């Protein structure tokens, strides 16, 4: 049985009753240990010792280190990245980018980068991160873009998936490569560039002329 199959058989979320105490202690232990070391160096033995439980208790709920780390990320870290929608899609995207860049400069960014790095050699890690975080975030962004297209704020021929990549890929590129600063100034300039592509062209613009032709 693969880890993916095992994941499907294990219920996610906080268990009921007294088991919840051990469950929370385990996630707290992962959170604390990742303040001290990388995802790659984290071991189930260390988590069990820090949480005061046996390894069988951990494996009862999590089939792999990847699943455990992602549960911690999903419950303890990802909720920090919550932004209410603004009046316009552009304002909403600016809010998302500003908060994301701030978070990526802290523990959120450390864990995110380590999960992505670990995922290059451990497919289960990348799959968990993609399915349980990335795709959910992309779905939210997709809704914002579709509403903007319907209202006329964005071009009707704008590909939502491409636009999402245009916004977020450069941010994660700077996080992972570290060749330039990942700061608010960069975020503002990035959104300016993306909006220039996404917004409706004026009737006299070259793009609008080409579309009419």
> What pLDDT is recorded for position 15?
57
pLDDT at position 124, please? Answer: 87
In 52-204, which ranges are continuous DSSP H helix? 55-61, 65-72, 89-104, 107-119, 123-129, 135-151, 160-177, 184-198
Largest CA distance in the chain: 70
**b/e burial code for range 76-94 (CB count within 10 A of at least 16 → b):** bbbeebeeeeeeebbebbb
- The C-alpha angle 177, 178, 179, rounded to 5 degrees, equals 95
Dihedral sign for Cα 210, 196, 87, 109, please: positive
| Domain 3-64 identical in fold to domain 81-205 | no
Position 20 scores a pLDDT of 84
Q: 3 is written with which tokens?
A: 């880890």
Where exactly are the structural domains of the chain? Answer: 3-64, 81-205
3-state percent breakdown (helix, strand, coil) of the chain, nearest 5: 70, 0, 25
Q: What is the pLDDT of residue 12?
A: 56
On whether the 3-64 domain is CATH 3.30.460.10, my answer is no
Q: In terms of CATH architecture, what is 81-205?
A: Orthogonal Bundle (1.10)
Phi-psi region of 17 (alpha: psi -120 to 50; beta: other; left: phi over 0): left
Q: What is the pLDDT of residue 18?
A: 56
Which residue stretches of the chain have pLDDT < 70?
A: 1-18, 200-213
User: What pLDDT is attached to residue 202?
Assistant: 47
Q: Which CA distances in Å does 187 have to 19, 82, 167, 191? A: 43, 17, 9, 6
């Amino acid at each position: 049985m693969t880890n993916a199959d095992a994941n499907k058989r294990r219920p996610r979320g906080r268990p009921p009753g007294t088991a919840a105490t051990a469950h929370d202690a385990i996630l707290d232990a992962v959170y604390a240990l990742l303040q001290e070391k990388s995802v790659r160096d984290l071991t189930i033995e260390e988590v069990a010792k820090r949480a005061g439980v046996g390894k069988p208790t951990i494996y009862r709920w999590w089939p792999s280190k990847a699943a455990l780390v992602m549960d911690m990320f999903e419950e303890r870290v990802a909720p920090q990245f919550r932004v209410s929608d603004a009046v316009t899609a552009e304002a909403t995207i600016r809010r998302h980018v500003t908060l994301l860049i701030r978070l990526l400069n802290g523990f959120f960014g450390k864990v995110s980068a380590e999960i992505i790095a670990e995922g290059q050699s451990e497919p289960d890690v990348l799959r968990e991160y993609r399915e349980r975080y990335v795709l959910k975030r992309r779905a939210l962004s997709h809704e914002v873009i579709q509403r903007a297209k319907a209202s006329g704020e964005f071009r009707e021929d704008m590909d939502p998936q491409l636009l999402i990549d245009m916004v977020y890929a450069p941010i994660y590129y700077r996080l992972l490569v570290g060749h330039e600063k990942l700061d608010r100034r960069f975020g503002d300039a990035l959104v300016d560039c993306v909006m220039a592509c996404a917004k409706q062209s004026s009737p006299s613009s070259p793009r609008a002329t080409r579309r009419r032709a």
